[in-house]
């Protein structure tokens, strides 16, 4: 089994590393050099046609791409501790929160990164006004998440789940590109301290 | 149990209706009038703070938002026929394909709709150049999907799954806003005919 990834600050490979650390699964990452465009090389695109990391290659050659799908595979093969919920309702609510984090927070962070950040300007055609407009969407998404965290320990409730992994890597990547948690978001800041203190956050 | 939704062409409520039809679950939709902004009313936002449909309210008052999460709930409570895969690998690959459809196809379709379509111009501030640039991303996504469908009956392989539901509603919504399947995409067109012929496609 080969787990293709890339070092931080790439947020998606970190999610898989955190997930494996929380599960106690020992599977070292095989890093690709994104600056050398190794993820766009024909040999790798034969495994994942989108040329993205992470990707998990099983021993029989089957490949699973997409961060959350890779983690879901390990949830099935290593159910404990559950990170996608136990009951039908919990499973649905963890999935709901993963999606909310992706669409409300990761999407505008990604759009700012692609369309407004100087590091990507050299690589792709940017729509700078649109990119800059995502600053407000990111701040708005963080304020919404802050309200939703009122009285809760973790994003989906009492238990640490995949939703926390997705949110932590998003908030940390946002910080790395200059988009910080708004000062007034006390719940979100407390949650961030709480999850950052877990050993898996170092993965 | 109350399923809040909205009539076509809204793509997300249709996904849940198709899913229920494939499962043989009889749960009529409770439609909200999106033009009257009923989904943004305080009573509804108390159920789903994002003010989005679909949303599923259980008898004990718990609410599940996000299309795929709602469908996952029904997959757990009504496992047959499986629409999210059976084995660990199948489950991961269906999830991978759902995500690929969402990120490669639904995201640029949504960005075109929000930032370039005349019907949304009255509602939100648009970044028109950026919006228009998504025409190419949508066509590129469809060409990629066309290549991926070579030799396959359905998107994730031999079985009809949630990935086909997500893709059908996306392709049909794209058509409704003026973004058609490129002429040369014979595999994608044949797939579209195949899934459109299923009774659930009328849901």
Q: Which residue has the tokens 């392989």?
A: B157
Q: In what order do the strands lie in the sheet with A29-31?
A: A29-31, A2-5, A55-57, A63-65
Q: Identify the CA nearest to B4 among candidates B37, B42, B36, B47.
A: B47
Q: Looking at residue B85, what is its pLDDT?
A: 98
Distance from CA of A36 to the nearest CA of B (A): 23
pLDDT at residue B40, as a whole number: 96
Provide, as residue numbers in chain B, all residues whose Cβ is less than 8 Å from the Cβ of A62.
Answer: 89, 93
Question: Are A70 and B92 an interchain contact pair (Cβ–Cβ within 8 Å)?
Answer: yes
Question: Locate tokens 């650390």: which residue?
Answer: A21
* pLDDT at residue B163, rounded to an integer: 98
Q: Looking at chain B, which residue has its C-alpha nearest residue A104? A: B50
Integer angstrom CA distances of residue B71 from A104, B27, B43: 20, 13, 24
Give Cβ neighbours of residue B67 (< 8 Å, ≥ 6 apart). Answer: B12, B13, B15, B16, B54
> What's the pLDDT score for residue B122?
86
B73 touches chain A (CB under 8 A): yes
Closest residue in A to B60 (Cα–Cα): A89
Q: Does B143 touch chain A (CB under 8 A)?
A: no
Listed range (A58-62, A124-128, B86-90, B141-145) with the worst mean pLDDT: A124-128
Maximal C-alpha separation, chain A: 51
Q: Before B54, cis peptide (omega within 30)? A: yes
Of A50, A77, A104, the CB nearest to B88: A77
pLDDT value for B31: 97
- Over residues B128-154, the mean pLDDT reads 98
Residue B123 has pLDDT above 90, yes or no: no
Residue of A96, A126, A131 to mutate for B, most B C-beta atoms under 10 A: A96
According to the 3-state scheme, what is the secondary structure of chain A?
CEEEECCCCCHHHHHHHHHHHHHCCCCCEEECCCCCCHHHCHHHHCCCCCCCCCEEECCCCCEEECHHHHHHHHHHHCCCCCCCCCCHHHHHHHHHHHHHHHHHHHHHHHHHHHHHCHHHHCCCCCCHHHHHHHHHHHHHHHHHHHHHCCCCCECCECCCCHHHHHHHHHHHHHHHCCCCCCCCCHHHHHHHHHHHCCHHHHC
> What is the per-residue pLDDT for A19?
98
Q: Residue holding tokens 């879901």?
A: A72
Token code pair at residue B86: 């059976």
Mean pLDDT for the stretch of residues B51-56: 98
Judged by CB atoms within 8 Å, which residues 2-41 of A form the interface with B?
none
B144 neighbourhood in chain A, CB within 8 Å: 49-50
pLDDT of residue B124: 87
Q: What is the token pair recorded at A167?
A: 């949110």
Q: What is the DSSP string of chain B?
A: -EEEE--TT-HHHHHHHHHHHHHT----EEE--GGGTGGGSHHHHTT-TT--S-EEE-TTS-EEESHHHHHHHHHHHS-SS-SS-SSHHHHHHHHHHHHHIIIIIIHHHHHHHHHH-HHHHTTS---HHHHHHHHHHHHHHHHHHHHHTTT-SBTTBSS--HHHHHHHHHHHHHHHTT-PPPTT-HHHHHHHHHHHTSGGGG-
pLDDT band at residue B87 using 50, 70 and 90 as cut-offs: very high
Q: Is A92 on the interface with B (CB under 8 A)?
A: yes
Task: Using an 8 Å CB-CB cutoff, list chain B residues near A92.
Answer: 64, 69-70, 72-73, 76
The pLDDT tens digits for B175-201 are 999 999 999 999 999 999 999 999 999
Closest Cβ opposite residue B68 in set A62, A70, A99: A99
Q: How far apart are CA A1 and CA B26, in angstroms?
A: 42
CA-based nearest distance B159→chain A, Å? 17
- Residue A122: the pLDDT is 86
More confident residue, B9 or A41: A41
Is the Cβ of B126 closer than 8 Å to some Cβ of chain A? Answer: no
Asked whether the beta carbons of residue A69 and residue B95 sit closer than 8 angstroms, the reply is yes
Q: Which residues contact A124 (CB under 8 A, 6 or more apart)?
A: A114
Minimum distance, in Å, between the CA of residue B131 and any CA atom of chain A: 9
pLDDT for the residue B57: 98
Closest CA to A177 of A119, A123, A137: A119
Percent of residues, chain B, with pLDDT higher than 90: 97
B49 → closest Cβ in A62, A64, A148: A148
**Mean pLDDT (chain B, rounded):** 97
pLDDT in tens, chain A (203 residues): 999 999 988 999 999 999 999 999 999 999 999 989 999 999 999 999 999 999 999 999 999 999 999 999 999 999 999 999 999 999 999 999 999 999 999 999 999 999 999 999 988 899 999 999 999 999 999 999 999 999 999 999 999 999 999 999 999 999 999 999 999 999 999 999 999 999 999 99
Closest to B64 (Cβ–Cβ): which among A68, A76, A96?
Answer: A96
Contact A65 B130 (CB under 8 A): no
CB neighbours of residue A21 within 10 Å: 17
Whole-prediction pTM: 0.97
**Mean pLDDT across B31-57:** 96
Give me the residues of B, 36-65, that contact A with CB < 8 A. Answer: 49-50, 58, 62, 64-65
């Amino acid at each position: 089994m080969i787990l293709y990834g890339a070092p931080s600050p790439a947020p998606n490979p970190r999610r898989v590393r955190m997930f494996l650390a929380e599960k106690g699964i020992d599977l070292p990452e095989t890093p690709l050099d994104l600056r050398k465009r190794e993820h766009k090389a024909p040999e790798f695109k034969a495994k994942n046609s989108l040329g993205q990391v992470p990707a998990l290659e099983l021993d029989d050659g089957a490949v699973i791409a997409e961060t959350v799908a890779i983690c879901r595979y390990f949830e099935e093969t290593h159910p404990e501790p559950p990170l996608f919920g136990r009951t039908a309702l919990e499973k649905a609510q963890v999935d709901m929160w993963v999606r909310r984090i992706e669409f409300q927070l990761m999407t505008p962070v990604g759009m700012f990164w692609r369309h407004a950040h100087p590091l990507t300007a050299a690589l792709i055609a940017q729509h700078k006004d649109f990119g800059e407009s995502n600053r407000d969407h990111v701040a708005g998404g963080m304020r919404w998440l802050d309200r939703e965290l009122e009285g809760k320990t973790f994003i989906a409730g009492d238990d640490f789940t995949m939703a926390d992994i997705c949110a932590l890597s998003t908030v940390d990547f946002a910080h790395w590109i200059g988009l910080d948690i708004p000062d007034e978001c006390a719940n979100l800041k407390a949650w961030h301290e709480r999850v950052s203190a877990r050993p898996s956050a170092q993965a």
